[in-house]
Amino acid sequence: MSAEPLPGKGPKEGAPAASSEALGHGYDEVKPEVARLLRIATIASVATALCLIAAKSCAWLMTGSVSVLSTLIDSLMDAAASLVNLIAVRNALRPADSEHRFGHGKSEPLAGLGQAAFVAGSSLFLMIEAVDRLITPSALANHGIGIAVMGFSILATLILVAFQTYVVRRTKSLAISADSLHYKGDILIHSSVIISLLISANFGLDILDPLFGMAIAVYILFNAWIIMRRALSELMDRELDVADRDRVIAIATSHPEVRDIHDLRTRAAGPRSFIQFHLELDKNISLLHAHEISDDVEAKVRAAFPGSGVIIHQDPEGIMEHRAVFDEED
């Protein structure tokens, strides 16, 4: 782990000057490209939701369909959740400060919890509306307009989801991933509404409209549960995936002078990961050489996990010491 000089103490005379990169200056800041993608994704999400709200409002007023209303309510919740996302992601991208030395990354899972609440509330409201329409059925009108608007909604949502998928792949953002999850569900919802309107127009089975609405409400509630579970996992400092942990171990032990590592701990907070472990080295090497090995390992871990905060403690090999034991660890 890179060491910084004490206040008022410079490097020893004759020692090579350390670069800002070697000292870790800005190492845990989110890359500008990642920050730009996250900002664009949140703006695109809000803009798409507002556009769909306008189109679906007209379609609902002209058709009276509960299924169309269900998608309108869903888009209203999407807009609210996406707005929360926009604010949360901008906050999560702020660099660490004296009061938040691990950064502001947990704004993202907090936004995820807010999204889950919005989505769950919309599903319950929709269920009430669908049951009411089932008890007091009414004929639908202007089926063609409803179908056209749903077709437009599918196209707009597909474009948004494709972009969000690209952003999540590049940034691993929980907030964008949660946002994308319910937009993916919207594609299924819009398709089911088209089927409902087509059956009503051709066979007069208007009862299917509230039944489809109820099914959509259940699906939306299921999505809320998925979003909430993922957000809580991150807020509770859940470990990174096994594949990522194995990657850290492989990188550290690939150094020819590293004997082993132990006490590996990882967690994520928005776009940043935090990784710490003990590095076991030959007990006969100098402190300076141990520091150089640690720096080398640290640089490789940071390269594999951009924007991550890495803490490495060096241990002499063979020294008996307390080691952390975790439940259910192999």
DSSP secondary-structure letter at 9? -
Which of the listed residues 203, 235, 267 is the one where a domain comes to its end? 235
Tokens of 28: 């845990």
Mark out the alpha helices in the chain (DSSP H runs): 32-63, 66-92, 107-135, 143-171, 174-203, 208-235, 242-253, 287-304
Burial category of 195 from C-beta neighbours within 10 Å (exposed 0-12, middle 13-18, buried 19 and up): middle
Residue 98 belongs to domain spanning: 32-235
**Shared domain check, 295 and 226:** no
Residue 148: inside a domain: yes
pLDDT (tens digit, 9 = 90+) per residue, 275-296?
999 999 999 999 999 999 999 9
Q: Which residue has the tokens 């991550």?
A: 308
Domains contained in the chain, number: 2
Q: What is the pLDDT of residue 18?
A: 41
DSSP string, 219-287: HHHHHHHHHHHHHHHHHTTPPPPHHHHHHHHHHHHTSTTEEEEEEEEEEEETTEEEEEEEEEE-TTS-H
Q: What is the pLDDT of residue 11?
A: 42
**Shared domain check, 193 and 72:** yes
**Shared domain check, 185 and 49:** yes
Residue 162: inside a domain: yes
**Shared domain check, 252 and 204:** no
Percent of the chain with pLDDT strictly greater than 70: 81
**Shared domain check, 215 and 180:** yes
**Shared domain check, 203 and 139:** yes
Q: Count the neighbouring beta carbons within 10 Å of the beta carbon of residue 132.
A: 11
Tokens of 268: 């994520």
Residue 51: inside a domain: yes
What mean pLDDT comes out for the span 46-53?
92
**Shared domain check, 263 and 223:** no
Q: Which CATH number goes with the domain that contains 284?
A: 3.30.70.1350
**Shared domain check, 247 and 230:** no
Q: What is the pLDDT of residue 326?
A: 65
Are 269 and 102 contacting, i.e. CB atoms less than 8 angstroms apart?
yes
